[in-house]
Amino acid sequence: DAKTTQPNSMESNEEEPVHLPCNHSTISGTDYIHWYRQLPSQGPEYVIHGLTSNVNNRMASLAIAEDRKSSTLILHRATLRDAAVYYCILRDNNAGNMLTFGGGTRLMVKP
Amino acid sequence: DSGVTQTPKHLITATGQRVTLRCSPRSGDLSVYWYQQSLDQGLQFLIQYYNGEERAKGNILERFSAQQFPDLHSELNLSSLELGDSALYFCASSVPSGIPGELFFGEGSRLTVL
């Protein structure tokens, strides 16, 4: 399985943008990039996903490098509720919906 | 609320015992996935069922087994429990027509083995 590398933790101030990086230098052509987050005492929840182009949804934006070897999850205005562990996951489109979680980035948001 | 229901929320038992964790997927979801989350191993995929059939297998121990019933609920059976089996066990579900890779996770069952 192609692996991802994320910083263990990051800090942000409330109402400021947050850029969460992810490196995936061994990504293959059939791998989609997914982001999930896990709030305290909850199960993971889907945030966003993409293949090659940048993506936006109501929760976040996903910026994908042209060579696809890295990506960045962007939270446009962090709130205290965004404090969570953020997971960057590569999903092989030939392997269905199975997701392999790594260590993730623990985002702390300061008021 | 993801719509995925897991019971029990908390369970305390002793080594050597057997427990059953239950998962009810979202209405209409045919796939069920089981994950284990422990402090030292992170979130580990255990097994996936699709419409009653085993679809994919991950790092599931031989002491663990699962099944999906005709009403699509699933059970994860853990036997000969060891201290190291203490963890959060998550169930997730998905629908074939949904966003690829979008899984809906329950709140988990916390198992403590003493």
Per-residue pLDDT of A68-89, as tens digits, reads: 999 999 999 999 999 999 999 9
Q: pLDDT value at position A2?
A: 62
pLDDT at B62 over 60: yes
- Residue B84, phi then psi, degrees to nearest 5: -70, -10
Number of other CB atoms surrounding residue A13 within 10 Å: 11
> How far is C-alpha A73 from the geometric centre of its chain's CA atoms?
5
Beta strands A105-110 and A9-13 are parallel
Contact A76, B17 (CB under 8 A): no
Q: How much is the mean pLDDT over chain A? A: 93
Nearest residue to A31 via CA among A70, A58, A61, A60? A70
Mean pLDDT of chain B: 94
CA–CA dist A93, B58 (Å, integer)? 17
- Measured in angstroms, the CA of B76 and the nearest CA of chain A are apart by 17
Confidence of residue B100 (pLDDT cuts 50, 70, 90): confident
Predicted confidence band at A1 (pLDDT cuts at 50, 70, 90)?
low
Residue B99: list chain A partners with CB under 8 A.
46, 49
Q: Please report the pLDDT score of residue A26 as a whole number.
A: 92
> For A92-96, B32-36, B84-88, which range has the lowest pLDDT when averaged over its residues?
A92-96
CA–CA separation, B16 and A92 (whole Å):
37
The pLDDT value given to residue B7 = 97
Residues of chain B positioned with their CB less than 8 A from the CB of A101: 35, 42-45
Q: From the list A93, A97, A103, which residue is nearest B42 (CB)? A: A103
Contact B31 A97 (CB under 8 A): yes
Phi, psi of A94 (to 5 degrees): -85, -5
User: Within chain B, what is the greatest distance between any pair of CA atoms?
Assistant: 42
The pLDDT of residue B39: 82
